[in-house]
Structure 1
Amino acid sequence: MKEIRIGIIGMGGMANVHMEHLAKIEGVSVAAICDANEEAVERAGDKLGISAGKRYTNFEAIIADRDVDAVLSITPNIVHHAIVKCCLRHGKPFMTEKPFTRTYEEAFDLYQLYEQNRIPSMVGFSYRYVPSFRYARDLIRAGKLGTVRHIFVQYLQSWGVAMVGTPMNWRYQSAMTGTGALGDLGSHMVDAARFIVGEISEVSAQMKTFIVNRPNPATGKEGTVDVDDFTGFLASLECGAAGVFQTSRNAYGSGNQLEVTVYGDLGTISVSCERGQELTWIQPQADAGDPAISVNGVHKVPEQYHITQMQDFVDMIRGHVREELPSLPDGYRNQEVLEAIHQAALQKRTVAPADVREQALAAGGIS
């Protein structure tokens, strides 16, 4: 088995999580690391035993390194576009974090490049690797719910609540992050809907910023928040189902609460990332003779639905690409929906993701 040599860009907390999973996979090593912060590179390099020549502060250098088979990019949103573009130009397989890019323009640019040079790619929609989400997807595809009528998705966190006192950081600045709760959490909601049920065809939306000013430790003054704390949207799906979505980083009492409920003619299935080993399936009681008599059952997820994101990434590099893997086109389509949501909120009207794409094509693409 050929050893897979990984280069990691970004030495933050999520990089440590991914490295822990990589360490459990046979035939994989971290060959090089990169971060704009030289001290972070040195600390990580000493811990991992990375040679001095494989410690980078320039992402272009690690991507061009011939001793690196693939790149994991775990960085703030502002550099997603530049890093993925560099990978595409070098033909270097990669995984980039979500949201795919800050803006739709950046996403469209990358998609055009990808169409010219398709390379193995992954976007970090990690909840595709929650076993209950994968199980729910298969049950729905197998027709266990009959015709899907509507879907409810919410992703709630509480770290933005006023009493927590979270100061200004890059997630509150549109120049760094694009949107707020929408891109941070809403991108996962959109992907969960696409993954479990199907494509979104149109949206109407509302976006709110609850706390406009937050203390900025860098300046000692108040900073201005110019992204959303909350986004809610209604959606129509291509399968004919309706959707209701809400996301907030100001939901007191919520931890990391991503929940999906799918309602069909033959029953209802609910899943949550906080209970990834089981799903709730409400269906008519067998032999009851009355469909109104239902069974609310908690079902353990079969072992076949257990796979880690890093295992899927490594398998992709080795040439085994599963149908469920979130690739660059998934990242692009996700950003297309996010842009439609953003436009719908700003313009107070219904917007179709397809219209977003048509506008970009009509404009002659993006250089």
Structure 2
Amino acid sequence: MTQSLGYGLIGTGFMGKCHALAYRSATAVFGDVAAPRMEILCDTPEEKAGRFATQFGFQRATSDWRAVIDDPAVDIVSITTPNGMHKEMALAALAAGKHVHLEKPMALTLQDAREMAEAAARAPGRTMVGYNYLHNPAIAHARKLIEEGAIGRPIHFRGLVDEDYQADPDLPWTWRARRADAGLGALGDLGCHLVSLAVLLLGPVASVIAEMQTVHETRKLADSDERRPVENEDVASALLTFESGVNGLFSCSRSAWGRKSRIGLEIHGTKGMITYEQERMNELRLYRNDGTGATQGFTTILTGPAHPPYGEFVPAPGHQLGFNDLKVIEVRSFLKAIADGTLTFPSFADAFHYEAVIHAIAQAAESGARVRPEAA
């Protein structure tokens, strides 16, 4: 086993905790990567940083994010802060020679994401962007089925991602409604996940036609009756054309009542189809056009040890993996790639295409024209 690497975390919200748990668990689950040294955690105020450092098992705490990057004991930096802070922190960490594990989206603008991808290409450190749905064994099996021709030649894609965290019109205005702080809305929060899965299964996107909608155009501040504008989209829809020639439908919404973490996928082929629902993330449904009409139907594939790396977590089907387990798989792949000197996935270069697609959707919606995503 390779030498242990020092680990620093910036941000202790939902994804910060998810990262901390994953870096502490990867060695115990897989056994083929060295356990990172939990060196230093950053958040504000200092008291909060100290409290979470103790809870997450870090040796030290700070309220200065540059102290994490400048620390010679730190080799890997996780950045799980609000979107507007990503670029400055990631560029500083890359310049300091660190490996960077960044939560999505990469940046507020596509130009910022391009600068980050270009910096990563020059830097000695490796990069990983937190698209942990890509690491689901069910998704890996779907890709294997497509590559093996189980559904014939892919001909059509349908995908949607919905949540209801902005469905209530009485929710107060937050930084997520402001372009300068959040960038895109539903596209940046949710749509990029759907794009990442579509690209993994069917390859790069060549062009898009799109529409966007802001459902709740203003929201009240939490502590007053003042209303502020919502500057980004609640809903986006698009027609996709993949470089392979496959066409598809794309939809994302943060105002879909009843949906908590829905990512629905359908891949239609000349001999069958595959369907997947994130809210039932341990299942895959496969239809093959064989047999007689009396026997044809969907097969539900329940993930288990036959779908690696499920078996590293639990030895029996039906016990099921969760969201945090996918982050453990992601972290293990990052640590292993660093140790073996192999490519990471998804790197800043991979994630740039996902962000180029969501920004192309936004541009197409604003212009009414077909738009090609910018190349790296």
**TM-score past 0.5 threshold:** yes
User: Which whole-Å deviations, capped at 9, do the CAs of 1:16-66 have from their partners, x for residues lacking one?
Assistant: 122222222332232111124323212212334544xx3222222211211
Where 2:26 maps in the other structure, the secondary structure is coil
Name the TM-score, length of structure 1 as normaliser. 0.89
Describe how 1:53-92 pairs up with structure 2 within 5 A. 54-92=60-98
- 1:271 is aligned, of 256, 273, 276, to 276
Tell whether the 8 Å contact from 1:22 to 1:29 is kept in structure 2 after alignment. Answer: no
Given that 2:79 and 2:101 are in contact with CA atoms closer than 8 Å, whether structure 1 keeps it comes out as yes
Q: Is the aligned partner of 1:327 residue 2:350?
A: no
Which residue of 206, 227, 236 corresponds with 1:231? 236
Letter of the 1:190 counterpart: V
Does the residue aligned with 1:146 lie in a helix, a strand or coil?
A: coil
Kept in 2, the 8 Å contact 1:70–1:317? The answer is no
Listed as ranges, the matches of 1:1-367 within 5 Å are 1=1, 2-26=3-27, 27-48=35-56, 50-51=58-59, 54-117=60-123, 119-162=125-168, 165-217=170-222, 220-286=225-291, 288=292, 294-301=296-303, 302-306=306-310, 308-319=329-340, 321=342, 325-353=345-373, 356-357=374-375
- Residue 223 and residue 264 in structure 1: after superposition, are their counterparts in 2 closer, same or farther (change >3 A)? same
Task: Report the Cα offset of residue 223 of structure 1.
Answer: 2.1
**Per-residue deviation at 1:303?**
3.2
- 2:166 alignment partner, SS class: coil
Say whether the 8 Å CA contact 1:173–1:226 is kept in structure 2: yes
Task: Quote the Cα distance in structure 1 between the aligned partners of 2:197 and 2:261.
Answer: 15
- 1:157–1:255 CA contact under 8 A, matched in 2: yes
Counterpart residue identity of residue 214, structure 2: T
Counterpart Cα distance in 1 of 2:147 and 2:233:
34
Amino acid in the other structure paired with 2:19: H
User: Given the two structures, how large is their TM-score scaled by the length of structure 2?
Assistant: 0.87
Residues in 1 aligned to 2:284 and 2:177: alpha-carbon distance in whole angstroms: 34
Shift in Å, 1:318:
2.0
Q: CA RMSD in A?
A: 2.0
Structure 1 stretches of 4+ with a deviation exceeding 6 A read none
- Give CA deviations for 1:179-209 in whole Å, capped at 9, x if unaligned: 1001100010111111111110000111100
Cα distance change of structure 1 residues 19 and 87 upon mapping to structure 2, 3 Å threshold? same
Query: For 1:154-203, what per-residue CA distance to the aligned partner results, in whole angstroms no more than 9, with x for missing partners?
Result: 0001121136x321112111110111001100010111111111110000
CA separation of 1:305/1:90 partners in 2, compared to 1, >3 Å: closer, same or farther?
Answer: same
Q: Distance in 2 between matches of 1:195 and 1:218?
A: 44
Q: Secondary structure at the residue paired with 2:120?
A: helix
Partner of 2:31: none
C-alpha distance in 1, partners of 2:142/2:239? 22
SS at match of 1:268: strand
CA gap 1:218/1:175 in 2 versus in 1, 3 angstroms:
farther
The secondary structure found in structure 2 opposite 1:114 is: helix
Shifted more, 301-310 versus 256-265: the winner is 301-310
Distance of aligned partners of 1:17 and 1:112 in 2 relative to their CA distance in 1, 3 Å threshold: closer
Q: Deviations over 1:246-278 (max 9, x none)?
A: 010111111110111100001100112222222
Report the CA distance between 1:314 and its aligned residue.
Answer: 2.2
**One-letter amino acid matched to 2:183:** G
Matched to 1:138, the amino acid is: K
How many equivalent pairs are there? 349
> Residue 256 of structure 2 aligns to a residue in which SS?
coil
| Alpha carbons 1:130, 1:273 under 8 Å: kept | no
Structure 2: unaligned runs, 5 residues or longer: 28-34, 311-325
Contact between 1:340 and 1:352, CA under 8 Å: does it hold in 2?
A: yes
SS of the aligned residue for 1:251 comes to coil
Unmatched 5+ stretches in structure 1:
359-367
- Check conservation: 1:210, 1:229, Cα contact below 8 A: yes
Cross-structure match for 2:315: none
The answer to whether the Cα contact below 8 Å between 1:208 and 1:230 also exists between their aligned partners in 2 is yes
Contact 1:132–1:272, Cα closer than 8 Å, also in 2: no
Q: 1:19 to 1:229 in 2, by over 3 A?
A: same
